[in-house]
Structure 1
Amino acid sequence: MTVTFNHTIIAAKNRAESARFFRTLFELPEAPSWGPFTNVQLSDGVLVQFAEPPVEIQMQHYAFLVDDGLFDRACARLRADGIEHWADPQMTRPGETNTGHGGRGVYFKDPAGHAFEMLTKPYL
């Protein structure tokens, strides 16, 4: 059997709010949830689970590859919702888009403070 990525758990201050932010931004339908998880299923079958851990949340980085159309719509949603985005992971170029690696990319924070990256071309 080959190795494929199945799921990840993202710590959230409010799992429903974080999942809703993620679903809305990336235009994903609701998925069945259970136990301490609010789930979002990506089109390739990967499950993203949001949970509220009983510990302080440390910022993590999550990057998502999207097509050009979704990138444009998601960036418009970020701007409409007043969510700051940056062209670089150091967050020194606010409001800009990264055009390195032959595509476009932006960095922004989700409701729990995680650093999300959205890009149109993979780095490799």
Structure 2
Amino acid sequence: MPARLDHTIVHCRDRFAAARFLTELIDAPEPKPFGPFASVPLANGVTLDYLDEQAESEIVSQHLAFLVSDEEFDEILGRIKERELLYWADPMHAEPQQINHHFGGRGVYVDDPDGHSLEFITHTYV
């Protein structure tokens, strides 16, 4: 059996603020404390564990892509616009305030407060 991703750690300045940024966009339950983490379980069994970084440490940006339904995409994009967040159709931030239509789906990128790139797509690229 191939390995399955169980969880990953997302480094941030404020674990609950960073986790809430995501959960509010995707309309997920409040992050739960788990040891030093703010944990966000996702529908496919993967958990994102947000961890506070030391103040002097640099946070290396990660890219997290979420496969969502068309209805969820509309809701997420609506929340992005409602919050007046910057968003892009591409990971290089060359197409601001636009979405893409790759592989017959739709996609959008938004940066979280720590500079992590969150991508929401309605059709997998594979």
Secondary structure of 2:53's aligned partner: coil
The superposition leaves residues 59-89 of structure 1 with CA deviations (integer Å, 9 ceiling, x where unpaired) of: 1111111111110000010011011100011
Q: How far, CA to CA, are the matches of 2:15 and 2:120 in structure 1?
A: 21
Gaps in structure 2 of 5+ consecutive residues: none
Instruction: For residue 31 of structure 1, report the CA deviation from its aligned partner.
Output: 4.8
- TM-score (normalised: structure 2): 0.93
Output the TM-score relative to the length of structure 1.
0.94
Q: Which amino acid aligns with 2:16?
A: A
- Provide the rounded CA distance (Å) in 1 between the counterparts of 2:84 and 2:30: 24
Q: Percent of counterpart pairs with the same letter?
A: 40
Match of 1:109 among 108, 111, 122: 111
| Aligned residue in 2 for 1:88 | 90
Aligned pairs, number: 124
Which amino acid in the other structure matches residue 64 of structure 1? F
Moved over 4 A (4+): none
**Which has the larger displacement, 31-40 or 8-17?**
31-40
- Unmatched runs of 5 consecutive residues or more in structure 1: none
How far off its partner does 1:101 sit? 1.2
Over aligned residues, Cα RMSD in angstroms? 1.2
